[in-house]
Structure 1
Amino acid sequence: MIEAAMIWNEPNNKSHWDPEIDPDWSRFANMAKLAADAIRDINPGLRRVLGGISPIDPDFMALMKSYGVLDHVDAVAVHGFPLDWNLWQIEEWPRRLEEIRAVTDLPMWISEVGVSTFGAEEVQLWGLRKTAELLKGKVERIQWYSLYDLPRAWGATTRHKEAEGSSYYRHFYMGLLREDGAPKLAVDEFARHTPEIGLVQWFHFEDPRLDDAVSWMKRLGVTHLRTGLSWADRFQPSALAWFDRQMAALEEFEVTVTFCFTPEHRGIAPHHTSAPIVPEEFADFCAEMTARYAPGPSSLEGLPESVVSGQMRETSFPIQPRE
């Protein structure tokens, strides 16, 4: 079911990793290597992917290489949104990919690419067609962001909120479906490019859209899905019940699971973007989730009972609900 484990999301974007706490990304590099090794110890055959970078920055990739992070993963990933947030035009996609290929020979994924309907649905339709023309066959994985519009009541995962102006509000219009599940113009076009192009859909804790999302993905011919399991959500009292339900619902797809989001009470600062106080705890979470949903042959033999039983958190510090 799970084809890959992605370590964090957009580590070079301050909406996902705080550079004031970790200005040289050395803390992130250490955490990523610990996590990659923990995943490998559970399932040596599970592909490990460095979280997709946004912006596409070859200097950041070179920094990760200098820290040895790329020696611990099997692929790297990039995110691109030239019609919404990036300061380059959509025709530049091939050049942006070559800039990363100049740094590493590892397979490259485009683990998020998308176009909002903030201005008009016709823009998304054109952007999808152009993206497919430029990128199909050029990388190992392409994952379109996203299936659903983000509900306005939930808020976007970004640091500056409304102060970003229209850049913030574009977050709420990235779906092929509106918030209420109604299809947009680009839905039929997307179906013409599956299964070669997959989907990204983040599910919030106890997300009510889960079952409808599965139905839509089957209807659209999706086989490859990228989603996430939140380290912060692991501290909710019913975390494992929700994780089990989510992963069971997705069992018919080849899933890339992204591990990310620091629990507020385990960060150097009380925020999901913070470097953790103890980076080994994030590695423990990755190991626990891998053992639960993608155990390798004989991977549970000799592991601590805390990992096998899913009670690892209680052995190191009390579980606290996330506020």
Structure 2
Amino acid sequence: MIEAAKIWNEPNNKSHWDLQLDPDWARFAETAIAAGKAIRSVHATLPRVLGGISPIDPAFIDNMAARGVLDHVDAVAVHGFPLDWNLWKIDEWPAKLAEIQARVSVPVWVTEVGVSSFGADEVQAWGLQRTAELLNGRAPRIHWYSLYDLPTAWEATTRHKEAEGSSYYRHFHMGLLREDGSPKLAAQLFPEHAQGMGVCQWFHFEDHRLDEAVRWLRRLGVRHVRTGLSWADSFRPNALSWFDRQMAALAEFDVTVTFCFTPEHRGIAPHHTSPPLDANEFADFCAAMIARYCDRTGAVAAPPSAPEPSLCAP
């Protein structure tokens, strides 16, 4: 069920890790090492992936190496969105990847890459095609972000929200599918690239899109899925029931599960980006989830098959 465990998400991005509380990432390094050790204690071979960095910053990787983090992971990951947020061109992808590969002795995964349809569906479709040409075969895992557009009633995980202008609103148009589930032009092209490219889809707590998402992943030919289990959500009522349902629904795929988000009452500050008060508590959560969901200890049964939706855009 789980092919890899990812430790945090974008730790060098202030929208996901509070750099004011941890400006040199010393606390993050402690947290990542504790999680790496805990995951290994319950599973001898499961790949541990350092949370995808955004921006792609070799200095951050050097910092993690100096602090011993790379001794406790089996891969590192990068995220890139050159047509929407990054200050580099899409054709620089191979060079950006090589820059990190040259600094580590472990594989480098691309666990989020995407293009928004904010300006036009055709821009996203071209970006998908070009991204596949540039990255397929250069990294062991590539995950397109994402399957669905972010619903407009929800908030994107950023620090400054609407003050970011169009940069903020692009977060809502990253999906192959629109909010209502209808396919964009890129969805029709995606099956051509599914052999070399998986999908990253974050599911919110008790997400109403889960079952339909599984049908779409099948229809698109996806084999590799990246998603997350939130440490913060684990304190909600019925959290394990939701986690069980989510992981059961995804059981037929090779899943990279990301562990992140600090519960407000267990952080140095009451925010999901805060370093935890005790890194071992986060590590214990990671270990418990691996013990619960890895096939070596008994996987949750997959749900029955359902009819697949049509790829034809309206």
Check whether TM > 0.5: yes
Q: Does 1:239 align with 2:233?
A: no
Q: Which residue of 2 aligns with 1:205?
A: 205
Cα distance per residue 1:115-157 (max 9 Å; x no partner) = 0000000000000010011111011000000000000111101
For the residues of structure 1 that align with 2:14 and 2:186, how far apart are their CA atoms?
30
For the residues of structure 2 that align with 1:101 and 1:244, how far apart are their CA atoms?
35
Q: Does 1:136 align with 2:136?
A: yes
Q: How many residues align?
A: 298
Q: Which residue of 2 aligns with 1:6?
A: 6
Q: Which residue of 2 aligns with 1:316?
A: none
Q: Does 1:251 align with 2:214?
A: no
Q: Which residue of 2 aligns with 1:272?
A: 272
Q: Does 1:151 align with 2:151?
A: yes
Matching residue's letter, 2:80: G
TM-score between the two structures when normalised by the length of structure 1: 0.91
Structure 1: segments with no counterpart, 5+ residues: 299-323
For the residues of structure 2 that align with 1:53 and 1:286, how far apart are their CA atoms?
19
- CA contact under 8 A between 2:33 and 2:72: conserved in structure 1? yes
Matching residue's letter, 2:196: E
Q: CA deviation at 1:296?
A: 4.1
Q: Does 1:25 align with 2:25?
A: yes
Q: Which residue of 2 aligns with 1:229?
A: 229
- CA contact under 8 A between 2:117 and 2:124: conserved in structure 1? yes
For the residues of structure 1 that align with 2:297 and 2:10, how far apart are their CA atoms?
31
Q: CA deviation at 1:195?
A: 2.6
Partner SS state of residue 181, structure 1: coil
Partner SS state of residue 192, structure 1: helix
- CA contact under 8 A between 2:291 and 2:297: conserved in structure 1? no
Cα distance per residue 1:229-254 (max 9 Å; x no partner) = 00000000110000000000000000
Q: Does 1:124 align with 2:121?
A: no
Cα distance per residue 1:42-89 (max 9 Å; x no partner) = 001111000000000000000000001001000000000000000000
Cα distance per residue 1:268-291 (max 9 Å; x no partner) = 010000001111100010011011
Q: CA deviation at 1:297?
A: 6.7
Matching residue's letter, 2:190: F
For the residues of structure 1 that align with 2:215 and 2:146, how far apart are their CA atoms?
15
For the residues of structure 1 that align with 2:157 and 2:44, how far apart are their CA atoms?
32
- CA contact under 8 A between 1:5 and 1:46: conserved in structure 2? yes
- CA contact under 8 A between 2:2 and 2:295: conserved in structure 1? no
Matching residue's letter, 1:85: W
Partner SS state of residue 65, structure 2: helix
Q: CA deviation at 1:295?
A: 6.0
Q: CA deviation at 1:180?
A: 0.4
Matching residue's letter, 1:136: N
For the residues of structure 2 that align with 1:7 and 1:76, how far apart are their CA atoms?
10
Task: Kindly report which structure 2 residues correspond to 1:176-195, keeping only aligned pairs within 5 A, or say none.
Answer: 176-195=176-195
Matching residue's letter, 2:202: W
After TM superposition, the structure 1 stretch with the greater mean CA deviation from structure 2, 187-196 or 106-115, is 187-196
Q: Which residue of 2 aligns with 1:103?
A: 103
- CA contact under 8 A between 1:76 and 1:106: conserved in structure 2? yes
For the residues of structure 1 that align with 2:220 and 2:132, how far apart are their CA atoms?
16
CA RMSD after TM alignment: 1.0
Q: Which residue of 1 aligns with 2:46?
A: 46
Q: Does 1:287 align with 2:287?
A: yes
Partner SS state of residue 176, structure 2: coil
